[in-house]
Structure 1
């Protein structure tokens, strides 16, 4: 009898290979707008991360800043200084370097607030959807009340309360953390409502029922079994909320309740330039505004693509 050759065992694909072969990656490559947005976002992120190394000047180094260099125009205008490509602000700080550092601060605030809001919202959404009953009712009623207040109003209320509590201390030390807390408290509801709805669907499926039968604790069921299956919509919300958090931070900084002038974000730079907009020094406000608009546009385009790509009805 001759031996029948056995088939070779299939080679297991790594995570990167599976991603490159997935429909999500092919959908990404088909959209030229999304590829351009991803490229622009990556460039802006790298500029923000590498700001201390690629910025022509350090806008926080008081020893290198001269008030005699204040309000210098961009290099293509008269009376410009070749050291300052986009000109300077009212304190003599290089505007291009300020945009690099300001974008870094805006992204840090945006990412930290989105992560904090996601942790809070996902946790409450899992508990509300899995437990049900009075726990679900209490959490959802709090979420309904939260939705009646605009995000900017909530941030202003939190900032006012923080001023009353920490009035005798240096507000600049706490402004970063106050801003993140205010933004996180403004955006957690979307995560909670989305995760709650998905959890209510998942908890009635067979794999969850089997986990209950064999005695797995509810916390482990929610974290290990249900959470991975509800992360798709959460990623879409997080991407879109990143752009919203950056815009909200810029708005609060423009109103004077965000980042202080000593740690300027893009919103702070726009607020500083707004005082000189009608006196002819338009570049102090316009260039940070363009950087903010470009950053938010790219992130929003990525969020729109991700929402469509993860929607099973559009496949």
Structure 2
């Protein structure tokens, strides 16, 4: 499949799911392509409400690419089950077609969502605010998308865009053209520095980005640690067996119930997790304590973990 055919395939998948009452939307890099800020991608990130996972799995079982059935991607994928997705786990699928693999990653939550992603949809796609929040990772390549989405949101009259600008010049340029509401400034202290053209602005914005990168790094590190026993058990249980997707799913649920904690971040404590990430930056002398006071309260982006 070429890029256009892939995009049509993924959009048709969403169309078919929604025809069955499934709440879902495309996010990630494919959404960035849709919003005109990325050129191409071959993979798809799909947000799907956990209550509809059974319908999604049933559709994946029936969907083939070049006569190739869908399957879980390796032993590393947790099951498509609401119990684990409530804790931030994601499920990974692929069609190992002759012309190349087609990949689908499924998220039950937006990972860094300050409000439910289901209230932020535009057509087949997650809204730019949801996409931008999900792009706050520890990968350099994701951050230009965050800023670009923020700019587009502000220009479209969506004040949430002010929360997604991390490049100093971009932020100051947008402030020359648009008003930033006081309510938004209260959510993000660095915006006060931007209004005042304070010389500490660049450092405060960098500190924010570094905090998000550290939050993502620690989260991934924690999940990888808990994932190892599950992967080892899956490897042993599936060795020499060619399982259908339904059988593979049942096996994953069985093994996850024994080896994979459902919500490790909530078990650790969201408040503790955020505090330790902030402290890592200060004690590691990555940011100065004086700059740390301009960091926003990011705990609201993880409240869904404890719901």
TM-score range for the pair, normalised by the shorter chain length: 0.3 to 0.5
- TM-score, reference length from structure 1: 0.34
Higher strand share: 2
Relative contact order, higher structure (CA 8 A, sep 6+): 1
Query: Which of structures 1 and 2 has the bigger CA Rg?
Result: 1
- TM-score, reference length from structure 2: 0.34
